[in-house]
Amino acid sequence: MKYWKSKFYYTVFGIVLCFSLLVERKNMNNISNRNIYLDYLRAISALLIALYHYTCRYEELFTHIEAYPIVISFGGKAVAIFFLLSGYFAVQHIDGRTFKQYILGRFLRLYPIYWISVTVTFVLCRFFLISRSVSLKDFLINLTMLPDLFGANYVDGAYWTLQYEIVFYLIIGLLCLLRLNKHAGKFFMSWTIAYGTYLALRHFGYLNSFSFINYSGIFLLFNCYGVSFIAGSLLACIEKEITKEKRNIMYISILVISLIINICFCFVQHDVTYFVFFLIGIVLIITSLILHKKGHSKSLVYKLFMPLSFVASISYPFYLLHQNIGYIIIITIEKMGFTNEVFVLLPLVLMLLVSWLINSFVGKLIVKRFNRKIAKIK
């Protein structure tokens, strides 16, 4: 049995490696300006979250027939890195964008893939995972990506992060609406001050009698996850200022201080594991920016880790699809007698394949078709 388990492991790994190399090789000529080290970081985070759900979270909800010797209990905290990267990329992509261009671009990037993923998950859960299924009403509300706002249950528990992403993007859109694109650094420094003020008022009990303020605190990112978005955005602002020919050392120093303050906020508000991921994320983002600036993107490291670049390119649909559908696959294969932990690779590989298909379909039929039209919008 051990022989066949090892054969299965190496066969699956080989298939994924070859497939990802073939797919990603087509894009090699178009990545001269892309920081592939950030791709690696995003891919590793996505895989850690999936492994957490397939090992630790699955054990909590259903219990594995054969206990897994390795449980990735810390993997769920990798969302800290996702939030950091969201903040970083949001600021990177607002230069020269109008409000309509930014909002439409984000809408086309997020919602079509989300609608397909949430529909597939809802249908499969109704038939094969009834304990995790929701009502038709809840499903329709989930299409907004803000089910919490309307008191609905999530189609998939992993979707809890999306409300924070959406509200953050709306705030970035507000920057574009006010034509403050070039003043993002000042905005996030101000946000840091406002955040600290909010935390102080809440700590001393001054907000207890104002339910609206407490509620809006959740959806305006005055919450424990807001620091991750702000910190990622400040990293992007610092990078932009450092790369300018005329550097304003005082301004850069204030940006760095704001980043340090947000690190302190994270330490106070979160458990140790989340804070460690948050801190590691900041260090790795800074390291990746240095390596990218030195021109290491075509080095041996790139060739060795190319599969991670492939995973990063489909990380969004993969994140949306992996949890409940992965549970269905694990339940099915365990009933068939494949109970060893090595077979967790099967749902992982299948979800990567389905994610690639959806990403390719939506990318070709929707995103590329509208990108040129968005560029013409003022």
Q: Rounded to whole angstroms, how far apart are CA atoms 47 and 281?
A: 15
CA separation, residue 146 to residues 1, 122, 150, 152, 160 (Å): 47, 16, 7, 9, 9
| Residue 327 CB burial class (10 angstroms; 0-12, 13-18, ≥19) | buried
CA separation, residue 370 to residues 28, 88, 109, 313, 366 (Å): 24, 24, 11, 19, 6
pLDDT digits (tens, 9 = 90+) for 326-376: 999 999 999 998 888 888 999 999 999 999 999 988 766 776 666 666 656
pLDDT at 48 over 90: yes
The full length of the chain comes to: 378
Mean pLDDT of 243-251: 86
pLDDT digits (tens, 9 = 90+) for 148-206: 888 899 999 999 999 889 989 998 998 988 888 888 999 999 989 988 888 888 777 77
- The pLDDT of residue 118 is 97
DSSP string, 126-190: HHH-GGG---HHHHHHHTTT-GGGGTPPPSSGGGGGHHHHHHHHHHHHHHHHTT-GGGHHHHHHH
Mean pLDDT of 230-239: 94
pLDDT digits (tens, 9 = 90+) for 271-287: 899 999 999 999 999 99
Q: Rounded to whole angstroms, how far apart are CA atoms 315 and 71?
A: 22
**Does residue 123 contact residue 136 with C-beta atoms inside 8 Å?**
no
pLDDT at 213 over 70: no
> With pLDDT > 90 as the criterion, what percentage of the chain qualifies?
50
Quick one: tokens of 197?
Answer: 């003020």
Q: Give Cβ neighbours of residue 98 (< 8 Å, ≥ 6 apart).
A: 176, 377, 378
- The pLDDT of residue 188 is 92
Q: Residue 323's closest CA among 53, 125, 126? A: 53
